[in-house]
Amino acid sequence: MTSKIAVVGSGPSGMYAADALLQQGLEVDVFDKLPVPFGLVRYGVAPDHVSIRSVRDTLDQVWDKPGIRFFGNVEVGRDISIEELRSGYEAVILTYGASSDRRLGIEGEDLAGSVAATDFVAWYTGYPDYSGPDFDAQLPKVSSVAVIGVGNVAVDVVRVLSKSEDELAQTDMPRHVLDTLRDAPIRRVVLVGRRGPVQASFTTKELKELGELAEASVEVRGPDLDLDEWSEGQLADNKVASRNVGVLREWIERPARQDAERSIDMRFFSRPVGIDGSDCVERLKLERTRLTSEGRLEGTGEFEDLDVDLVVRSVGYRGEPMPDVPFDSGNNVIPNVDGRVLDGDTALTGVYVAGWIKRGPTGIIGTNKKCAVGTVASVLADREAGLLTPADGSAVVGSLADRGIVPVDVAGWRAIDAKEKEHGAAQGRPRETVSSTAELLAISATAHAT
């Protein structure tokens, strides 16, 4: 019997874990609830970041290695239980990420037109059977947007909303997304941060891109760059923040563009305290903030109403529990030590975790490789110690067939990949993402048609 390891999730962490296992001569079955692989790389990275999205080409090469199988469109916890995986495989590595959004907790947050960045990103990346707010209907009525947050995802949202038709033309966005963004009458996008520019978590590369857009100008308020003593101290030890502040100061000195179709308004030291409107978003209420000498945030009692048609909150991702798996609801992760899942103070035999659901939504895509390799090292150590029971996964595969579940395999994914490239080529684009689960499954089925 050839023993196998199950990996739940085919995003970067899952694929890096699978590759590390394959390199040790082990065989791997990768499960994903979506019909297609690559998770965050496909449905989290902005479509206009072609170089970053090309990471999936590297991940895709893992499928060419012997000893790996893909079971797409199979949701663990719904189609198959974690207990079935535990008994059917020598070990199970959970890498299903952190895809839910964090809320602001302010009045009016549930008004129509107040949305999560996770939903907006899912819409513009073509997440299968997207079921969030109807941006195709909303955006044609939007002229002013507030994006709350100062991380890379917030900057992605600002950039996508501010780009011209030509700048988005070479992305793999679904056609209806491109058409909606092209026709949206957006004239102003405001990036809102509670703290100052030194505390912002976006990278300098992402920030600079806002100043290079063809039809958008960037506005920065001078007082936001008058740094307090605590921030000046932080700046000295943070090279990224220092570069970011340098970029923002350059923009303050830059002459205003008279030809810009849109404006990007960078607002720091502004805390959202409420969203107003009769039936939908009409205003975002902000309070001016400042930092104390210890770096704590406090309100100044100065308030401002910002007239906007859409509020996009981008204040972080959080993980969700899986049935029958321990979960730390305070930190929104699966409790673990070195990737070994903990049930109280005891390691759960044969169950491991990697990626964002292991450590929280931190780091870049490459961070997940080190994280996954660390978890695989724990698996290998436990195998060497004789703590794991060999199993080949055949019982699990058989139970899926008994339940009438037909997974998308590697051949099915290859057929989808080819069809998306074909759709894109017909429009002069490298790819067009297929966003319908039914269509994805139909394309996958052609790989096995007789």
- Both 14 and 90 in one domain: the answer is yes
How distant is the alpha carbon of residue 138 from its chain centre? 22
Strand, coil or helix: 79: coil
- Does a structural domain hold residue 421? no
- Does a structural domain hold residue 10? yes
Q: What is the DSSP letter of 28?
A: E
| pLDDT exceeds 80 at position 53 | no
- Both 310 and 329 in one domain: the answer is no
Question: Which domain, by its residues, includes 327?
Answer: 4-99+319-407
- Pick from 5-9, 31-35, 179-183, 292-296: least confident: 292-296
- Both 109 and 178 in one domain: the answer is yes
Q: What pLDDT does 23 receive?
A: 96
Q: Nearest to residue 34, comparing CAs of 8, 57, 12?
A: 8
- Does a structural domain hold residue 68? yes
Q: What pLDDT does 99 receive?
A: 80
- Per-residue pLDDT tens for 336-349? 999 999 999 999 99
- Cα distances (Å, whole numbers) of residue 161 to 70, 116, 267, 321, 345: 35, 15, 17, 32, 47
- Give dist(CA 54, CA 37) in Å, integer: 14
- Does a structural domain hold residue 375? yes
Are 130 and 121 in contact, with CB atoms under 8 Å apart? no
- Pick from 127-136, 178-187, 359-368: least confident: 359-368
- Give dist(CA 299, CA 346) in Å, integer: 44
- Does a structural domain hold residue 174? yes
How many domains does the structure of the chain reveal?
A: 2
Mean pLDDT of 73-89: 95
Are 202 and 243 in contact, with CB atoms under 8 Å apart? no
Among 285, 316, 347, identify where a domain stops. 316
Partner residues linked to 148 by β-bridges:
192, 313
| pLDDT exceeds 80 at position 14 | yes
The percent of the chain in helix, strand and coil, each rounded to the nearest 5, is 40, 25, 40
- Both 181 and 299 in one domain: the answer is yes
Q: Nearest to residue 38, comparing CAs of 63, 56, 64?
A: 56
- Pick from 83-87, 92-96, 254-258, 387-391: least confident: 254-258
- Both 214 and 253 in one domain: the answer is yes
The two tokens of residue 85 are: 């995986």
Q: Nearest to residue 407, comparing CAs of 75, 122, 124?
A: 75
- Both 228 and 147 in one domain: the answer is yes
- Does a structural domain hold residue 427? no
> Which amino acid is it at 277?
G
Mean pLDDT of 432-448: 95
Are 261 and 268 in contact, with CB atoms under 8 Å apart? no
Q: What pLDDT does 1 receive?
A: 60
Q: What is the DSSP letter of 305?
A: E
- Both 223 and 238 in one domain: the answer is yes
Q: What pLDDT does 179 receive?
A: 96
CATH number, domain with residue 212: 3.50.50.60
- Both 155 and 238 in one domain: the answer is yes
The pLDDT mean for the chain works out to: 93
- Both 86 and 156 in one domain: the answer is no
Are 343 and 82 in contact, with CB atoms under 8 Å apart? no
450 pLDDT band, cuts 50/70/90, is: low
Mean pLDDT of 110-131: 95
- Both 70 and 125 in one domain: the answer is no
- Both 354 and 328 in one domain: the answer is yes
- Both 342 and 390 in one domain: the answer is yes
- Pick from 96-100, 249-253, 379-383: least confident: 96-100
Are 377 and 358 in contact, with CB atoms under 8 Å apart? no
